[in-house]
Amino acid sequence: MIRLRLLSAAALLAVAAHSNASSFIVTTDSIVGALKATSDATSDATSSLRDNKIVQAARDDAASFVASNGVIRGVKLESALDYIRQQAPQLNATDAQLAQAILVI
């Protein structure tokens, strides 16, 4: 009887451990997929803006914005952020993410 209980408990623990691992994998895959989609959208939007004069003019303001953690907001950066959001309304990026993207392109 004790042996049956121990065997049942061991089987239950094995099933529970497997379900937790599977749940973790599915959750991780979902998060990574969402991040990749956001990254791809940001990359596509910024690559099309690479030659834009408004965006290029905002590089210094973007650097100040990033270096000051969003405290310094220059006029050229504001103009570029407005322009980017008009060109890519589906893009759900923060000002900090867009400023960093401006610095990269």
What was the pLDDT predicted at 22? Answer: 47
Average pLDDT over residues 75-87: 93
Average pLDDT, the chain: 75
Average pLDDT over residues 32-60: 69
Q: DSSP string covering 27-59, please?
A: HHHHHHHHHHHHHHHHHHHHHHTTT-HHHHHTH
Domain ranges across the chain: 2-104
Q: What is the pLDDT confidence band of residue 50, given thresholds at 50, 70 and 90?
A: confident
Q: Which two tokens stand for residue 103?
A: 């610095």
Average pLDDT over residues 7-35: 55
The answer to whether residues 83 and 52 touch, using CB atoms and an 8 Å cutoff, is yes
Of 47-51, 63-67, 86-90, the range with the lowest mean pLDDT is 47-51
